[in-house]
Structure 1
Amino acid sequence: MIVKFLSKSASFKGVSYNTRKIDRNKGELMKVSGFGPLQAMNGLRPKDYINYLKAVSAQNTRVKLPQLHVAISTKGRSHSGEQLTEIAEQWLKEMGYGDQPYLIIFHKDTHNNHVHVVSTRVDKQGKKISSAYEKLRAMTALYRVLKLDEAEQAKADLAVALSYNFSTKAQFMLLLEAKGYAVRESTGKFQLVRSAKVVHEFDAALVADQMKSYVFPELRQKQMSAVFHRYACLYDTTLVPDLVSLPGGLKKTSSDYHSDLSVYLKASFGWELIFHGKQGKPAYGYTIIDHEQKQVFKGKQVMDLKELLAFRTQVNPDQLPLGSDAIPERFAAAGAQNSPIPENDTGAASHISIEWKPDAFADHHPGFSTPIDISISDDIDDEATHGRNRQRKRQARTNTR
């Protein structure tokens, strides 16, 4: 579970943003607290909440951007809206906002359940609520609410990472970065860092020993290759940069990518595709994490990136029958039909549509497109919340994955 601080604001845009989610049936108002007599009134508008928050904030003119806007996100559907609301309430108390006016809104339109909290950093006596070491305190407070010890959790996450079959240090570090850690290596030690705090340190020999026991999973590689060939012609492989939320409701592209195919493979098989590249430029490689069988592959071991990006969606899978007949003839001829498929293969799924339109950039870099929509109607802030810490992205060792 992660806490993410979103944009500050003088006009409390977070209220409007979240009420629009509710209007579009993408969000649900879970809790209203601290608004005094306002809460007893019917037919309240977003402007009513905003005016109240502004009135409280106006008592301290030194605080120019009083909005507190936070997202608390869980992995997948592991926590319901009600559970996340209870966690958010306790977290607010831990952070000194328990008596503040606040709204809690559950977002239900993304892969990871999450709630948004909107409040003011000025209390009703006109004092500013402390923001010192805020991000560090936020995670510490969340661990207290969840009754988790940061160091113990880091040890548990390390144990899980060491249970995977990986061949390089970069792959091992990627496993932990996917859980939200920054990983540092120096003088024979690894350090796990979260919110600028070292939460665990361990001997690099643990990683070296696990690498020595690496065995290439040939059967799994063949299974995955067959699945890739089967579904790359049904789901668009075009890479689209992930978006990161900015103040004012705008978004910018990040250095992480996804495609229709990668979304489908993760949802259906537990295979996470992590593409490597610099912001604004095409990916130069990728890693596959098979969470089901705890295997880590260099992408080219399953399907070379150029081959993967050469695919284009030729048909709509909703219009195809179930079973092997859904595979285009050109893949049947290559033997894809008779290749082993994992037992949990269901044959078809609902289509995730991202229409690929050629443009000058995509023509020059096949398989890569740039988003032009900056609308906030489709919320991906929880993806940013769960985004990987990529401090080491500019280092040459990324080519060793």
Structure 2
Amino acid sequence: MNKIDMENLGLSQRFITESTLYNSLHIGRVISQYKNLYKIITGDGELTAEVSGKFRFAVKTVSDYPTVGDFVMIDRTEDISGNAIIHNVLTRKSTFIRKAAGTSNDEQIVASNIDVVFICMSLNNDFNIRRIERYLGIAWDSGAEPVIVLTKSDLCKDLSDKLTEIYTVSMGVDVIVTSSMSEDGYLPVKNYLGRGKTIAFIGSSGVGKSTLINKLIGENILETNDIRNDDKGRHTTTRREMFVIPNGGVVIDTPGMRELGIDSADLSKTFVDIDELSAKCKFIDCTHTNEPKCAVQDAISTGSLTRERFENYLKLKKEARYDGLNARQIENEKLNEIFKEFGGMKSARKMLKEKNKSNRKF
């Protein structure tokens, strides 16, 4: 039986070195997940696995469980006598995080050990510059390198205008344009693939992610659907899965990538221009509203920074602050913001109470 090229699947020396800490166990990579079962690929082939009872007992959070992209240590490499057992997850070099289902604030890893993440957006109905900013924040936070992929260029009548818009927010990130009409329309994406590299896709449903993946793999493995008339795509990916590209690394597609929260975002790299302007403000704690000598407001007034970009920056920062809170906690946070000049809501209530006492004396 032919051995599987694990180096092409991303098995680097750092993982091999860590794996030597676990005697009598074998290294494999998680290529798909369905509920509590995992499909693992090893040098000897694929097999189904589940976590050990000891592992399940030891985990502290949902994010400790294996996910697609993880390198894991298992008890066997042959699919015999029941499921293989996962005993350890090797240290991740990058992670995409979302909140776990339910009311818990647990974080769930939806994909790991990714080298490059393609932020996909179509150049027709789906185009939204503010969403690009959101995705960039999420990508930078993961530890992977973001690349903006604009799809369906054949449907765009103002490509140069849209590219100009993109360049105002891309902050040095590569931007590539693809077309689904021509046979070689996907080639700019293929240039980022390579032996041992792990690529993931993020973006709305219907923007052409599945079409691109099918082209890269060379087979129509994934179902494809266009964006509907209401601008919303049909969800075509229903489970997390990794696909091997011969001599070109692997591609990860997962429905969880659509639902990543802004709490797992690095806004400092996405809005590096605003952070640099903030450092030039007269006051260290400048709120960029009414303070004198505010570099951010000066940039907006001269047109070097758009008000829309600044407002989206504030919006995403606020989302990050509120994410994971229940309705009552969010309400308290908002009230504290309103009464900030009085030292917060608690201080404002105390002040109001003392004022009422004073009024009663008269």
TM-score (norm 1): 0.24
Higher relative contact order (CA 8 A, sep 6+): 1
TM-score (norm 2): 0.26
CA radius of gyration, larger in:
2
